Amino acid sequence: MEVFELTQPKRQVRDRLKQQVAEMAEKFPGFRPGLAILQVGNRDDSNLYINMKLKAAAEIGISANHIKLPNTATEADVLKCIASLNADPAVHGFIVQLPLDSDKPINTEKITNAVAPEKDVDGLSSINAGKLSRGDLGDCFIPCTPKGCMELIRQTGVQVAGKRAVVIGRSKIVGAPMHDLLLWNNATVTTCHSKTSTLAEEVGKADILVVAAGRAEMVKGEWIKPGAIVIDCGINHVPDSTKASGKRVVGDVAYTSAKEKASFITPVPGGVGPMTVAMLMQSTVESAQRFLEKFQPGKWTIQYNQLTLKMPVPSDIEISQSCVPKPIDQVAKEVGLFPDEVELYGQTKAKVQLSVLNRLKNQPDGKYVVVTGITPTPLGEGKSTTTVGLVQALGAHLHQNVFACVRQPSQGPTFGIKGGAAGGGYCQVVPMEEFNLHLTGDIHAITAANNLVAAAIDARIFHELTQSDQALYNRLVPSVNGVRKFSDIQIRRLQKLGINKTDPMALTKEEVNSFVRLDIDPGTITWQRVLDTNDRFLRKITIGQSPTEKGFTRTAQFDITVSSEIMAVLALADALDDMKKRFGRMVVASSKKGQPVTADDLGVTGALAVLMKDAVKPNLMQTLEGTPVFVHAGPFANIAHGNSSVLADKIALKLVGKDGFVVTEAGFGADIGMEKFFNIKCRYSGLRPHVVVLVATVRALKMHGGGPAVTAGVPLPKEYTEENLQLVAKGCSNLNKQIQNAQMFGVPVVVAVNAFKTDTKAELALVVQHAKEAGAFDAVECTHWAEGGKGALALARAVQRASQAPSNFRFLYNVELPVVDKIRLIAQQVYGARDIELLPEAQEKVALYTKQGFGNLPICMAKTHLSLSHDPEQKGAPTDFVLPIRDIRASVGAGFLYPLVGTMSTMPGLPTRPCFYDIDLDPVSGGVNGLF
């Protein structure tokens, strides 16, 4: 008879697994299957088995981690460790090494059942055991020893089906699962044990015999049926004086006599044991493959919500509150985010860790779509609604992977006159009250960070005015326990000053003076305090009137929080470290010698990073129809660049995969938000857009055609509620110009005609016709406000087609051009101006910023959004006008200069009847009532 040699089958399994792991790494660069082994105590036999497993894992290419808890570990300690491993996406399988060697009482069954079934590569949990007993072999992990036994039986070439099999042993680790495994492979199975009275007789009937009784040489050779396959799982020690240890290892079968009758038999040691280890590796690789299949980037399994449309369309808040959003952790899972990449803020919103970018760095980006608009009326033309409608159409109706990336609204407009910014009708981000109110506190963090800088500026001026150089130095670099040392940020200031010293005692008097005195010129301070409320009476204030300020007063002001440079930095940063560096570069004033004073000079950079460490993470929400949304950052579209964050876009583009779509919105009309999206955001992000969606309305075109003024809170004149094709046709001059503006950057344009109930078919058809004649790739009528994604299907299909069209994206200007030339290019090419005029203050700033080294920054024009020109009363597409530039400011940290065109305030005032008149808590539900 032949003795079945195990070495070759074990080697075949390991070679196969090694090849599979290599293929995974090639397909998913940087990926390795992860195995964790949790041990309690320090048993010698457990250490031996664990070392075997670690060695096998290293040979195959599996990343193995041995977690060792002391024998004083409690059940709670073990469960806590298991919970951590369950949540770790780098661990695809883990085992708890048994027995648990602890001084404390530990329920082994409770421990094994705490292991997540999808990671239970030992197959010991009740869920996996139950699936095996039911025959669900493809949906469970099988205990490694029985799995190894089956592999050995297969290696003999003997068919299991129809054979009579006997299993001796009934443990949950070997005997019971071995019985089930043979049964579901169509053998006729009998389970025996030490108490079976007819054991020899039953063994004599077995074509396949698996012994796991734990009794040395219990099965005698003469019992075995001639030609049987014998798998011996026993490991027993018997006395042997010929061995140095005084004992030798034997199995549960009397090997010498059994091999005379069996056709195949496994030796002990060196038989089942190595194959058990090989099967543990195989299960780990299988688990990793399932993980990759489940979390393959761009492979979404998403559940969409069905809308129940009502006519007339209810208020936005009614629609939002009638929707039952999916739990946000479900949304995160659907789009391929790992549990440890998501920080839940309640049930409906979450923050996403930036680490996802590193995990997906080798994945291709999806299609990048920007939604902009024609020059709007004060009421807005529905860019946010169109953005949401488009993603609902692409996702819930065309089943494309799609993300919306939108800005977080300011409390100012929410409580002022505009209301919320979550979209409208059946195209909203939900819950809209959470979207509009606080969200996850990002704007409050910006307020705190901004005002810390403001406080630091005035405090530094005060202290420099009231203290000597040495007193300042002693306070800035104090002696702590007899030791004085510079902080990291102070080292950076010394290096900036050209002082290459690290010993505080080594500075000369002149160097101490340079170090301690920022010498801020109060008249050059550009950094203002902010708050997220429309408080017009803080537009100009006098600070420092308390007697404690010793007569140091100056005129200052409050701006609205979203106009803060910190908000602009948040929107343009592409990593936490990048955000911190940008904070350090922010220029807050000039010294009396004309040198820029930065946040780093003030010493606040690290503190700003700490205040903003959570705000830098994008916020995950969803639309009414269950498509994912990132809500992140909300810079003003006039003072700043008016786009949501680079980070949100980058993460979304990786998550949707190469065939998916990311739809983001640029604030105000194309002449402002889109121009800044291209020239500033895309310049810093390195992302290249595929399609521009230009939103137009009949209402706005009638205004541009000469219709009467449109005023928020006032009923529309009849010209806007009755058909007037002449006004529409005349107003299309603005549409034509904005199409040209988009085409100037080399990107296909799709016009979305956002239909209102007062629009006629003839008016809508006229706009579509004009748009196509003006060179749009396509133009379609949209009814998404009343119908949700269904009403934007034509738009979605047009965007799909446009994304396949040739795109030759280009910037409008080279940043190396002089400041004045860049401003002139934007004014002439985008606005249609004849020329620009720099007022004296603006001329001075051009000279100053060029001298300070900021002349090569992009330009972020701050002008009215109600006209292509600087005059909000000039509608249509004005030409032959001179654009006045009254001043220029620098947002050096964000990375742009912003010329001020005309007059405007960054602290809007509350209207006579603000939106908050309608907002209240529901007395029954405790929810929010009101008309957003």
CA–CA separation, 600 vs 586, rounded Å? Answer: 8
Inter-CA distances, 165 with 150, 187, 212, 506, Å? 12, 6, 14, 87
**Scanning the structure block, which residue is given the tokens 């039986």?**
153
DSSP codes joined into one string, 798-830: HHHHHHTS------SS-TTS-HHHHHHHIIIII
Helix-helix angle 488-496:509-516, to 10 degrees: 110
Please give the Cα distance from 634 to 427 (Å, whole number). 20
Picking from 224, 140, 229, the residue whose alpha carbon sits closest to that of residue 177 is: 140
Neighbouring CB atoms inside 10 A of 74's CB total: 15
Q: Is the peptide bond before 431 cis (omega within 30 degrees of 0)?
A: yes
Of 10, 18, 27, 53, the active-site residue reads 53
* Closest to 435 in 3D by CA, of 573, 353, 316: 316
Q: How far apart are alpha carbons 533 and 293 in whole angstroms?
A: 48
Q: In whole angstroms, what is the distance from residue 757 CA to residue 500 CA?
A: 70
- Cα–Cα distance measured from residue 479 to residue 649, given in angstroms and rounded to the nearest whole number: 47
**Please, are residues 803 and 690 in contact by the beta-carbon 8 Å criterion?**
yes
- Comparing CA positions, the residue from 295, 217, 208 lying closest to residue 251 is 217
Rounded-to-integer distance, Cα 78 and Cα 64, Å: 19
Nearest to 466 by CA among 574, 349, 552: 552
Cβ atoms within 10 A of the Cβ of 96, count? 24
Q: Do the beta carbons of residue 582 and residue 895 sit within 8 Å?
A: yes
**Contact in structure between 167 and 189 (CB atoms under 8 Å):** yes
Residue 139, helix vs strand vs coil: helix
Does residue 908 have a cis bond before it (omega within 30 degrees)? no
> Nearest CA to 637 among 331, 273, 376, 854?
376
Task: Give dist(CA 185, CA 498) in Å, integer.
Answer: 79
Q: Which residues pair with 36 in a beta bridge?
A: 65, 94
Measured distance CA(334)–CA(623) in Å, rounded: 14
Terminus-to-terminus CA distance in the chain, angstroms?
A: 86
What's the rounded Cα separation, in Å, for the pair 263 and 431?
Answer: 70
Q: Are 536 and 557 in contact (CB under 8 A)?
A: no
Secondary structure (3-state) at 913: coil
What whole-number distance in Å separates Cα of residue 122 and Cα of residue 642?
Answer: 54
Rounded alpha-carbon distances, angstroms, from residue 422 to 405, 407, 435:
12, 9, 7
Instruction: Give the Cβ contact number of residue 707 at 10 Å.
Output: 22
- Alpha helices of 117-268 — where are they, by DSSP H? 126-134, 144-155, 175-184, 199-204, 255-258
Write out the two tokens for 766.
Answer: 């006229």
Active site residue 737: no
Residues marked as catalytic: 53
